[in-house]
A and B are shown apart, each in its own frame.
Chain A
Amino acid sequence: MAAAGARWNHVWVGTETGILKGVNLQRKQAANFTAAGQPRREEAVSALCWGAGGETQILMGCADRTVRRFSTEEGRFQGQRHCPGGEGTFRGLAQVDGTLITCVDSGILRVWRDNDKETSSDPLLELRVGPGVCRMRQDPAHPHVVATGGKENALKVWDLQGSEEPVFRAKNVRNDWLDLRVPIWDQDIQFLPESQKLVTCTGYHQVRVYDPASPQRRPVLEATYGEYPLTAMTLTPGGNSVIVGNTHGQLAEIDLRQGRLLGCLKGLAGSVRGLQCHPSKPLLASCGLDRILRVHRIRNPRGLEHKVYLKSQLNCLLVSGRDNWEDEPQEPQEPSQLSSEDTEADELWASLEAAAKRKLPDLERTSGAFQTRRRKKKRPGSTSP
C-alpha cells in the first residue's frame, strides 16, 4: 500500500538512521523505506538527488559510501553502487547523461559510469577539489558544470567536460577592518537561473553572490544574517531571493538585488539541515535536527502550512516539483507492467482535463524537466510578490 502510493509523495526525506521517508502532505502520511528492511546508522543518508527520467528515481548517498537507487514508481530500492575513494561522507551527488557524480569530504570528486552492477568500476573522471568540502552542487542549466566549496576551500566551478582546472576560482574578500584575513567556510552553493551567477552561504553567517562573467573574482554582493553558521540555502521561485537556515533553526529570506532581509520564518527548533522550495509554488520544505519536517508558505501570507513529526533526525530532503499537489486519482493504481512513460502520459492527460494548456506533454517532460519548470515560473500569478 505504501509502496504503491510512493509516487504521490510530495517530499522525500533522508534520515540519520538510514531510512528514506516519503511524506504525502495531502493524506498526511509518512512512509519509511529502507534498503535492508531495518534502519541502520551506518547507512545514514547524506545526499539525495533525483535520478534519470524525471522524478521517478531517487539517488541516495549513504554514509557507508554507497549510492542507492530508489524507484518512486515501485516504492522500493533497485540497486546500489559502492563509490570508494577519499574519506568522509558524500557532500554532493548528481547525475548527468547516465553518469553519476560524487564528491566526498576529503575533496575527491569522481564521475562514475551509471551501470546497475554492484561491483565498483573505475571512475571515468577524478578531480581533486581540495580538502574540507561542504557542498558540491550541479548547475541545473548546464549539467556538466559543478561547483564546490567548503571550510577553507574557496568556491570553485568545474566543467567536467573541460580541463582539469576550475573554470572559475573565487577569491577571498579583502582583509577586514583589523587587517585580518577573513576565514572561508562555504556551507551551501546555489546556481542562479538565467545567469552565470552563484550564491553561497557561509558558516560565518554571510551570504555572497559571485559572478564568473564579471572581471572580479571577489563576491559581487555580500549580506549577513544572524550570528550562527548558515547551514542550508535554497532559491525561491522568482529567482530574486534566497532562503537560508542556520544552526539555531532560524530561517530568513534575503533579497539578492539589494542584499537585505525580507522576512523570517518561525517554527524550527533545531539546526536546519535541508531546505528546498517548490519550483513554482511559494512553498518551502525544511528539515532539521529537531526531527520535524515543516512546509512553510513563503508569501501571501507567510506562515506554516504543514508540520510532520518524523522520528529520526533528518539530514536532507527532496521536494517533488510537480504541479498537481492536490489532484490525486482516486482509482486504484495500475500495475507497473506499462512503461513509466505511458503511465506518466496517462496520468497527465487525466489530470490536465481542466488544467493549463500544454501540447505534447510527453516530449516536454522527457526533454528538459528544468526548462518546463522555468516556463512555469514565468506564468502570471506565480511571481507576484
Chain B
Amino acid sequence: MEKAGGSRKKGLKRKRAAEEPQEAAVVEDGATDSGGQAPKATAFPPGFSISEIKNKQRRHLMFTRWKQQQRKEKLATKKKLKKEREALGDKAPPKPIPKTIDNQRVYDETTVDPNDEEVAYDEATDEFASYFNRQTSPKILITTSDRPHGRTVRLCEQLSTVIPNSHVYYRRGLALKRIIPQCISRDFTDLIVINEDRKTPNGLILSHLPNGPTAHFKMSSVRLRKEIKRKGKDPTEHVPEIILNNFTTRLGHSIGRMFASLFPHNPQFIGRQVATFHNQRDYIFFRFHRYIFRSEKKVGIQELGPRFTLKLRSLQKGTFDSKYGEYEWVHKPREMDTNRRKFHL
C-alpha cells in the first residue's frame, strides 16, 4: 500500500516536474529549455515561487520537497563546518555566541552607573536611607486580602518563617488606609499584603511604611513547602543572607532596595540560609535555600521555603493609595511591551 502510494507520489512528482515547465511555458512566452528536460531536473523561470501554484496538493508537495532539500543542505553545511573546525584544531576561530533575548537586550538609558554621583546621592537620601544607615531595623506585617483560603494562609505562614521579625495578622475586612497609620504608630517598617483570587495567591503589595513607596506585583508560580521536591528541613530562626541579581536600571535599583530593606542587616552565616531575588526579563524569582560548602569549590544546596515569581505592575510614591497616589512607574502593556528585547527592571 505504501509502496503504491510512494510510487504514485513519485509518478505524480515526475508528471508535475514535466508539467511545470510546460505550464510555465504557457504562462511565459520566452521560456526555453522546457522541452528536452530530464523529468527530475526542473528549471523554473526566474521569479516563480511555490506560492503561485494554485493547486493546494501540488503546492504542498512542492513545498515539502523544498523543505527536505533545505534541511539536507543545512546538514551538509554543518558537517562541512565541523570538519573544517577539526582540521584547524587549535587555530579554529571561536564559536559564535548564539543570540538570545537576554543578550540582545536593548540598552536601557536608565541603567545605573556605579560611579554616578547624582544617582548615588538620590539613593543615599531616598526613603530607604534610614534602613541603609542602620537607623531602623525592619519589622514586617504580613496580611492578605479579605477572607483568604488555605493556600494563601499557608503561604503567609511560610513567608513569616522566611522573613525574620515578621508578624502575620488576619485581615478582618479592614481598609488598608486605616491599617497603615496604626502600623506606623506601632513601628512597623513594611507591610506585605498578599492578594488572593479564586483560592490562589496572585498579587503582592509591598509598602514601605513611614511614607515610602508601594510596589504592586503580580505573583505567579507559587509553590508551598510541601510541593517542592527534594526540599530540606524547615528553615531555622537564623537571619538569612540576601542575593539580589540583575537589578540594573534605576527602577530595578529601587525595587532591589525595597527587597533588601525587608531583611535585617546582619546575616547569620551559621544558619547557611539565603534568600534570592533573581530578576530576569522583568520577572523576579524568589527562592530560599540552605547551602553547604562541601569543599573549596563545591556547594550543595537544598531548597526550603516557598518559591514564587513576581512581576512589577506599578511603583507608587507614598503609602498605599491606588486612587489618589502619584505613581513613579506604571506598567502599560500596550506601550511598554511592544519590543521583546526591552526590559524595565
B-contacting residues of A (Cβ < 8 Å)?
17, 19, 32, 38-39, 41, 203, 227-229, 231, 247-249, 266-267, 269-271, 289-292, 309, 311-313
Contacts and interface: CB of A to CB of B under 8 A. Distances in A.
B317 interface: yes
Nearest to A307: B109
A41 B125 CA distance: 7
Nearest to B321: A247
Contacts of B109: 309
Interface in B102-143: 109-110, 116, 118-119, 121-122, 125
Nearest to A292: B110
Given A249-B330, A271-B317, 11 more contacts: A17-B125, A32-B118, A39-B118, A39-B121, A228-B323, A247-B327, A271-B328, A289-B328, A289-B329, A292-B110, A309-B109
A22 to B, nearest CB: 15
Contacts of B125: 17, 41
A309 B317 CA distance: 19
Main SS of chain A's interface residues? loop
Given A17-B122, A312-B122, A249 B327 contact: yes
Contacts of B326: 231, 247, 270-271, 289
Given A289-B317, A291-B250, A309-B110, A271 B327 contact: yes
B181 interface: no
Nearest to A272: B326
Contacts of B110: 291-292, 309
The 3 closest A-B pairs by CB, nearest first: A271-B326, A309-B109, A289-B328
A289 B126 CA distance: 13
B122 A311 contact: yes
Contacts of A249: 327, 330, 332
Interface string B303-345: 0000000000000010000011111111010011000000000
Interface of B: 109-110, 116, 118-119, 121-122, 125, 250, 317, 323-330, 332, 335-336
A244 to B, nearest CB: 15
Contacts of A290: 328-329
A39 B325 CA distance: 26
Contacts of A271: 317, 326-328
Contacts of B329: 269-270, 289-290
A17 B118 contact: yes
A292 to B, nearest CB: 8
B116 A248 contact: no
B219 to A, nearest CB: 22
A311 B250 CA distance: 8
Contacts of A269: 329-330, 332, 336
Contact of B328 (A32, A41, A270): A270
A15 to B, nearest CB: 9
Contacts of A38: 121
A203 B121 CA distance: 32
Contacts of A41: 125
Contacts of B323: 227-228
30 contacts: A17-B121, A17-B122, A19-B118, A38-B121, A39-B118, A39-B121, A39-B122, A228-B324, A231-B326, A247-B324, A247-B325, A247-B327, A248-B327, A249-B332, A269-B329, A269-B330, A270-B327, A270-B330, A271-B326, A289-B329, A290-B328, A290-B329, A291-B250, A292-B110, A311-B116, A311-B118, A311-B119, A312-B122, A313-B122, A313-B328
B322 to A, nearest CB: 9
Contacts of A266: 335
A269 B334 CA distance: 12
A311 B118 CA distance: 7
B150 to A, nearest CB: 34
Contact of A267 (B119, B325, B327, B335): B335
A235 B336 CA distance: 28
Interface centre among B118, B323, B335 (most CB of A within 10 A): B118
B324 A203 contact: yes
A41 B122 CA distance: 8
Given A17-B121, A17-B122, A248 B330 contact: yes
B114 to A, nearest CB: 13
A231 B325 CA distance: 11
Contacts of A229: 324
Contacts of B335: 266-267
Given A17-B125, A266-B335, A269-B336, A312 B118 contact: yes
B297 to A, nearest CB: 40
A313 B323 CA distance: 21
A266 B337 CA distance: 13
Nearest to B250: A291
Contacts of B250: 291, 311
Interface centre among B122, B317, B336 (most CB of A within 10 A): B122
A320 B323 CA distance: 34
Nearest to B113: A311
Contacts of A32: 118
A267 B332 CA distance: 9
Nearest to A247: B326
B110 to A, nearest CB: 6
Contacts of A248: 327, 330
Contacts of B327: 247-249, 270-271, 289
A32 B117 CA distance: 12
B215 to A, nearest CB: 13
Nearest to B324: A229
A324 to B, nearest CB: 28
Contacts of A309: 109-110
Contacts of B121: 17, 38-39
A208 to B, nearest CB: 18
Nearest to A204: B324
A292 B110 CA distance: 9
Contacts of B330: 248-249, 269-270
Nearest to B129: A41
Contacts of B118: 17, 19, 32, 39, 311-312
A101 B335 CA distance: 41
A248 B315 CA distance: 11
A38 B122 CA distance: 12
A41 B118 CA distance: 11
Contacts of A313: 122, 328
Nearest to A308: B109
A134 B328 CA distance: 20
A17 B329 CA distance: 19
Contacts of B332: 249, 269
Nearest to B335: A266
